[in-house]
Structure 1
């Protein structure tokens, strides 16, 4: 081997030894070294010092931003809501009905509010109020996160923040508003004393019933000045601020009453915890129920009913657009609205005149105690537009705050029968023997006959237990034969009847057999919607008292009143044709006889509920639909009247109308029909030549079907189901039975039904609604059922 080769061999061996040595010493090859270097860089970026430094930097940035925000955001002037405007309400022709919304507020200093009452508000909303700096960072942060994530409105604000929101800002749920609230609250807390802030809070807050501030609230709920409030009463007002509409005792549901009592207890327990109330005194306290609501000024006569109905529609529309109900109510109460109603002054005047002439002028409570229990409500609608052109809510809003036009606690009785017929026609229903149900279909009109094919035993009597024998559907509608329509309900299927009723606009419909005789609760407004849809050839009509509502800061509200075809035109027109028979020679003949004969073409149906607690007439011409209801409601003190179960009546209880106005038993063919006819004649300026345009081949309006030749049975049926409903002769007391629903509480609603309208639960139903039949099938005396 030469020297060169030996040298190269030694170099190769040295390289191998060096590599081996480097590996044994932990030295990686070049690629490994690169990977290790990359990981090292990542670790170096997240060292403890770097992380702390970054967080510190972010904190400094946030602090700097907040300082800048603090310097840039001034404490503004009072907002528009704190200095509220009035709302202006106008008739359809632009003339002013009334102005409302003058703020019901009297600012009072804390020296006029007992110390313990002051503490109720602190205990309810912000126990740390006297110690904090005016803000709750945790609560505000939660509110911001909820706003960003769309979870909506959340609590957690301090009293200072709520005062700032009420007085300086607005109710908008935005991040910008929350940040401003935070900054302004800090500044206000530094500039004002805690007593000044607390005074501002309790004087700017809304308590419901149109009351802003503690003085107005004390008067609205307890009829006392703020300085006379007890701790118990103060705790209720403090609890009320969380949900004024839900917690108003006069209109609260049973579940809401439980919630407000829980909130009341929470306030007092917090006071004990903070040593603001003696535990012994607390244990002896009882919940002090607030007084019934009183009407606001400027709502006398019908104005209050019109305003409340319009306000409720505005609130409903704002809720549909995304507001909570509380916020929607606050926006209406804040004022600044110009509200145009569909009410036509001439027709409104004609309706008032008709009710006064045909009913009110005939009432004499000094002579007949039942006359003090008479209430009337009416709604008139243009079926082509859905506009409510006239409304009667009661004798005077200042005397009876609950609107009889929109209340749903009385049975509509036999005015529901056309809905059953509509469902039969719409569903091509057949009788038990397979015969298609049409106007000429023959049924057994025997009183008390057990219904066949129903889910439950049912055998309702006809009025006076009158037997009609074989009778057509047309004649059964003319004379409101209960046994026929109860059987028809079973033939159609109660679930289908309920669906048709819902489609036509009725609410809270069940499938109980008694429903066929109108045992649910419904208002004149509800039934006006049903009959307007029939008059409009089956296209849905939703009555609207509101034409437009405009506000400088909000989008105009213009309700949708006309909808889709909910029943076929032939169905609606066939029912209209049948209902023409009712006014021609049936129970509604008073509206087409005497001074009204030949004055207009009409269709309609009478209704009288069991125990005579309500009576109705729902009718229409081609141009106008009007529903009149008459209700028996015990006056203040009960009026020495009896409930249908014979127990002494209390204020608001349902009572019989029998004898009212000296008219004996009250039926739909009496006062309600006479009011309807007088109003219709006046509203149509003495009459109209308009005629129904009907697409049908059945019913009295087209060609009355031939009557069956069989005679009515001479004796009552011998077979009846166990415990059938009872019925008495027309000359004796009306039938009694167990009520299908609980008796209502019909306390007057608040001044502001939009906050929490009266309960819609049907009540005061004491058995089977009945409808008269006087035995004269070919002739009827006007004014009698």
Structure 2
């Protein structure tokens, strides 16, 4: 090699050595360590700034949203309502301690000792998010609570960083119990259930406070993959995985000292119940919820309060009796109707209310065929006339006021009136000559027998004897709601408006010996921040015990030997009254036993309640009287509601028998006595299906006829047409309608 080549090689070596030394000088260990700590310091500074910048926000709307729970008197869930979230927040104290520990064991064993974050898990989650692998686990219970309660489920870096900061602050400011309670109340468990209370109901049909440790471990295991681990829909792999996680959870509890090894060994996997449809407002539930909401408004729980959610409303309704009422309507009415193929059957609506006469609690209610099909409650509607179910109140008013007949005879059960159809009332400024059903005339008839057969002419004269004003006062006192009904004789036929709810209260008052009974359906309303126990209704004496018990005595005759015999059975002591409104637009049976007061009604309704129509022809049965379908529904329900019968008997005191006038001389016998050919074989109110059971309403030889002054004094024929009761769809007032002596067929 020449000198020139040597110099070039030496220069090349020098350049290479310079490069290597420069790299070494640039990446010394000191510089690398400094850079590392610089990055750490920069990150800490950035995190510090982030910590100062990010505040704990308000809870997101979905996390706070709860459902309301309506439940029967025994705690069984009737319905849940709310804006799309099935959640009911419970205090941690309501969750068994071992169930609490099962969630910690499943998700975050160090929960009680950590600072609210898992840096390793969070770093892994951030890396996976940045690398596109999606959302990953590893968060603490505190972090999951923050995500559910304050943030969203979005798998973004910014959300994860906020979660980390907020979790640190929440752990600093709140107790572990508060955090754990928030976590189990906000988590989603599948089956539409958010929160542990809804989950306990959805999977095991119990409240959270009733969960055992095995069930709690399953619910805790679910949170990892609710849809995959739901036993009812899980694949074989899903079932294997959830059982493994269930065992893992219990093993962790043993490790942490929260569960004895011996108890763990004895636990078996708790297979959940099959999923059930969400409890909404279908069937009778909607009617019950609607009735409860009306009372809640009176108690100060507004619609806005209910929309906020979180309430538990306990009703007075007895689930067993509610089921019996629904079965009775189905068996005695709905099964016989052809709603799709028959125009008349399509118009029939049934309603009923059943009340405990001692407490006023509504124990069962029937609002219609289905709330989602017919939103208007037939139990509480007040647009139909209660018809002859009002007649007992005419008698009650007569007894309460010590009223007498036109000749001065004290009115009681034995008092004899003239039962001639179309007989003009005596002593009234408003002419009225009501027609009995089928235009039947009875001649001299006792008040008891007139009640049995619902004789219009007798009660029209009685209300004149008592005065319509006095009858109205008594009616309002016992609970009839319509304060504006006219003070005219036609009111004796029940021409005001009332609901089955109203009349159930009226008849419960009679059953309660005249002490006022106000029906109510709400037992309690509970919220985490507010508890309402409704005030007990006042129990003043609406009418005297003697008056109420005398009416009860009269109404036992209606059931035993009158128009209400379809409700009669030896299984219980019963009193009741039938009612059929003008033109057969409604049919009623109102009755009671010593333990239960129930009113059942049918309504003819067309065009969604806009038009009242006749019930005649219902189920091809002819005239739908109160002694037909309503009485049979009443009897079927009452028998079931009383568990097949009852030994309770009416305790009646001071029953007013009234005065029976002395027999008249032959020349005084009322000329209006009908000839045999005038009297049809069917008495008023008796169902056409059972004509052979019709009792005779002709007074027996032991019943003296009335004196002329008592029932049929000489009168001058009225100068204008007798008063007619108004039809529900006719605004013409009584006494103002055209026509002669043709009056209502109301019975």
Instruction: Output the TM-score relative to the length of structure 1.
Output: 0.54
Whole-angstrom CA distance in 2 between matches of 1:768 and 1:558: 46
Deviation at 1:696, TM superposition (A): 2.3
Deviation at 1:85, TM superposition (A): 2.1
Deviation at 1:334, TM superposition (A): 2.3
User: Structure 1 residues 339, 738: CA separation in 2 closer, same or farther (over 3 Å shift)?
Assistant: closer
1:528 aligns with 2:528: no
Deviation at 1:563, TM superposition (A): 1.2
Aligned to 1:318, the other structure's residue is in SS state coil
Contact 2:355 2:504 in 1 (8 A): yes
Aligned ranges 1:578-617 → 2 under 5 Å: 578-592=554-568, 596=569, 598-617=570-589
Residue 310 of structure 1 aligns with which residue?
292
Residue 674 of structure 1 aligns with which residue?
632
Contact 1:528 1:618 in 2 (8 A): yes
1:350 aligns with 2:306: no
Aligned to 2:594, the other structure's residue is in SS state coil
User: Structure 1 residues 707, 574: CA separation in 2 closer, same or farther (over 3 Å shift)?
Assistant: farther
Aligned ranges 1:617-632 → 2 under 5 Å: 617-632=589-604
1:557 aligns with 2:553: no
Contact 1:514 1:768 in 2 (8 A): no
Deviation at 1:103, TM superposition (A): 5.4
Contact 2:547 2:656 in 1 (8 A): no
Deviation at 1:484, TM superposition (A): 1.0
Candidates 454, 457, 471, aligned match of 2:431: 457
Whole-angstrom CA distance in 2 between matches of 1:666 and 1:359: 11
User: Structure 1 residues 407, 79: CA separation in 2 closer, same or farther (over 3 Å shift)?
Assistant: farther
Deviation at 1:686, TM superposition (A): 1.3
1:383 aligns with 2:357: yes
Whole-angstrom CA distance in 2 between matches of 1:657 and 1:601: 30
User: Structure 1 residues 661, 738: CA separation in 2 closer, same or farther (over 3 Å shift)?
Assistant: closer
Contact 1:414 1:770 in 2 (8 A): no
Aligned length: 450
User: Structure 1 residues 707, 373: CA separation in 2 closer, same or farther (over 3 Å shift)?
Assistant: farther
User: Structure 1 residues 620, 432: CA separation in 2 closer, same or farther (over 3 Å shift)?
Assistant: same
Aligned ranges 1:16-27 → 2 under 5 Å: none
Residue 67 of structure 2 aligns with which residue?
86
Structure 1 stretches of at least 4 aligned residues deviating more than 4 Å after TM superposition = 78-83, 703-712, 715-721, 735-738
Residue 713 of structure 1 aligns with which residue?
673
Contact 1:608 1:769 in 2 (8 A): no
User: Structure 1 residues 460, 707: CA separation in 2 closer, same or farther (over 3 Å shift)?
Assistant: farther
User: Structure 1 residues 487, 298: CA separation in 2 closer, same or farther (over 3 Å shift)?
Assistant: same
User: Structure 1 residues 721, 523: CA separation in 2 closer, same or farther (over 3 Å shift)?
Assistant: farther
Gaps in structure 1 of 5+ consecutive residues:
1-73, 106-295, 320-327, 637-650, 728-734, 743-766, 773-785
Aligned to 1:723, the other structure's residue is in SS state coil
Candidates 411, 418, 426, aligned match of 1:444: 418
Whole-angstrom CA distance in 1 between matches of 2:558 and 2:364: 24
Whole-angstrom CA distance in 2 between matches of 1:713 and 1:555: 65
Residue 544 of structure 2 aligns with which residue?
568
1:770 aligns with 2:745: yes
Residue 95 of structure 1 aligns with which residue?
76
Aligned ranges 1:339-488 → 2 under 5 Å: 339-488=313-462
User: Structure 1 residues 103, 83: CA separation in 2 closer, same or farther (over 3 Å shift)?
Assistant: farther
Residue 142 of structure 1 aligns with which residue?
none
Q: Any idea what the Cα deviations from partners look like across 1:299-345, whole Å, max 9, x if unmatched?
A: 000000010101110111218xxxxxxxx222233222111111111
Whole-angstrom CA distance in 2 between matches of 1:577 and 1:301: 37
Instruction: Output the TM-score relative to the length of structure 2.
Output: 0.56
Gaps in structure 2 of 5+ consecutive residues:
1-54, 87-277, 679-711, 734-741
User: Structure 1 residues 311, 738: CA separation in 2 closer, same or farther (over 3 Å shift)?
Assistant: closer
Aligned ranges 1:481-560 → 2 under 5 Å: 481-509=455-483, 510=485, 511-560=487-536
Q: Any idea what the Cα deviations from partners look like across 1:108-138, whole Å, max 9, x if unmatched?
A: xxxxxxxxxxxxxxxxxxxxxxxxxxxxxxx
User: Structure 1 residues 696, 391: CA separation in 2 closer, same or farther (over 3 Å shift)?
Assistant: same
Candidates 312, 330, 333, aligned match of 2:307: 333
Aligned to 2:344, the other structure's residue is in SS state helix
User: Structure 1 residues 521, 435: CA separation in 2 closer, same or farther (over 3 Å shift)?
Assistant: same
User: Structure 1 residues 497, 736: CA separation in 2 closer, same or farther (over 3 Å shift)?
Assistant: closer
Residue 730 of structure 2 aligns with which residue?
739
Candidates 614, 618, 626, aligned match of 1:660: 618
Deviation at 1:736, TM superposition (A): 7.6
User: Structure 1 residues 525, 81: CA separation in 2 closer, same or farther (over 3 Å shift)?
Assistant: farther
Contact 2:399 2:656 in 1 (8 A): no
Whole-angstrom CA distance in 1 between matches of 2:449 and 2:85: 57
Q: Any idea what the Cα deviations from partners look like across 1:461-490, whole Å, max 9, x if unmatched?
A: 111111111111111111111111111111
Aligned to 2:606, the other structure's residue is in SS state coil
Whole-angstrom CA distance in 2 between matches of 1:363 and 1:541: 35
Whole-angstrom CA distance in 2 between matches of 1:79 and 1:498: 57
Contact 1:614 1:657 in 2 (8 A): yes
Residue 225 of structure 2 aligns with which residue?
none
Structure (1 or 2) with the larger CA radius of gyration: 2
Deviation at 1:708, TM superposition (A): 7.6
Deviation at 1:722, TM superposition (A): 2.5
Whole-angstrom CA distance in 2 between matches of 1:102 and 1:687: 44
Deviation at 1:411, TM superposition (A): 0.4
Deviation at 1:600, TM superposition (A): 0.9
Q: Any idea what the Cα deviations from partners look like across 1:429-485, whole Å, max 9, x if unmatched?
A: 111221111111111111111222223222211111111111111111111111111
Whole-angstrom CA distance in 1 between matches of 2:380 and 2:605: 15
User: Structure 1 residues 409, 736: CA separation in 2 closer, same or farther (over 3 Å shift)?
Assistant: closer
Aligned to 2:577, the other structure's residue is in SS state strand
Deviation at 1:725, TM superposition (A): 5.8
Residue 45 of structure 2 aligns with which residue?
none
Whole-angstrom CA distance in 2 between matches of 1:663 and 1:451: 34
Aligned to 1:539, the other structure's residue is in SS state coil
Aligned to 2:398, the other structure's residue is in SS state helix
User: Structure 1 residues 460, 310: CA separation in 2 closer, same or farther (over 3 Å shift)?
Assistant: same
RMSD: 3.1
Contact 2:517 2:539 in 1 (8 A): yes
